[in-house]
A and B are shown apart, each in its own frame.
Chain A
Amino acid sequence: MARRPDPIGLGAAMADRLLPTLAAAVTLLAALALGVAVAASALAERWRNAASEAITVQVPDPAKALPDGRARIDAALALLRDSADVAEATPMQDGRMAELLRPWLGPGGEQLALPLPAVIEVAPAVSDWDSSALAARLGEVVPGTTVETQGRLVTRLRTLARSVQALGIVAVLIATGIAACVVALATRATLAARRDAVEILHLLGAEDRQIASRFARRAALRVAAGALLGTVIGASVLMALGAVAGPVLPMDPGRLAAGLPLLPLATAAIGWITAQSAVRRWLRHLP
Chain B
Amino acid sequence: MIRFEDVSLRYGAGPEVLRDVTFGIPPGALCWLCGPSGAGKSTLMRMMYLALRPTAGRLSLLGADIGRARRGDLPRLRRRIGVVFQDFRLLPHLSAFDNVALPLRLARRPEGQVRADVGEMLRWVGLARRIDARPPELSGGEQQRVAIARAVITRPSLLLADEPTGNLDDVQAERLLALFTELNRIGTTVVVATHNMALLDRYPARVISIADGRVQMDG
A complexed with B: yes
Residues of A within 8 A of B (CB): 2, 4-7, 9, 12, 196-197, 200-208, 210, 284, 287
On whether the beta carbons of A287 and B103 are closer than 8 Å, the reply is no
Q: Is B186 an interface residue (CB 8 A)?
A: no
Which secondary structure characterizes the binding site on chain A? loop
Per the bound structure, the CA–CA distance linking A4 and B103 in Å amounts to 14
A contact residues around B93 at 8 Å (CB): 6, 9, 12
Interface residues of B in 148-192 (CB under 8 A from A): 150
Interface residues of B in 84-136 (CB under 8 A from A): 89, 91, 93-95, 98, 102-103, 105-107, 111
A contact residues around B206 at 8 Å (CB): none
Per the bound structure, the CA–CA distance linking A5 and B51 in Å amounts to 25
On whether the beta carbons of A204 and B94 are closer than 8 Å, the reply is no
CB < 8 Å neighbour of A7 from B78, B79, B83, B102? B102
On whether the beta carbons of A203 and B74 are closer than 8 Å, the reply is no
Q: Is B202 an interface residue (CB 8 A)?
A: no
What are the 6 A-B residue pairs with the smallest beta carbon separation, nearest first? A205-B79, A205-B78, A5-B98, A9-B93, A207-B75, A205-B75
Closest Cβ of chain A to B191, distance in Å, is: 16
Q: How many residues of B contact A (CB 8 A)?
A: 28
Q: Is B49 an interface residue (CB 8 A)?
A: yes
Question: Which of A196, A200, A210 is the most central at the interface, judged by chain B CB atoms within 10 Å of its CB?
Answer: A200
Closest Cβ of chain A to B55, distance in Å, is: 12
Q: Is B19 an interface residue (CB 8 A)?
A: no
Per the bound structure, the CA–CA distance linking A155 and B71 in Å amounts to 59
On whether the beta carbons of B106 and A206 are closer than 8 Å, the reply is yes
Closest Cβ of chain A to B54, distance in Å, is: 11
On whether the beta carbons of B94 and A7 are closer than 8 Å, the reply is yes
Per the bound structure, the CA–CA distance linking A7 and B105 in Å amounts to 10
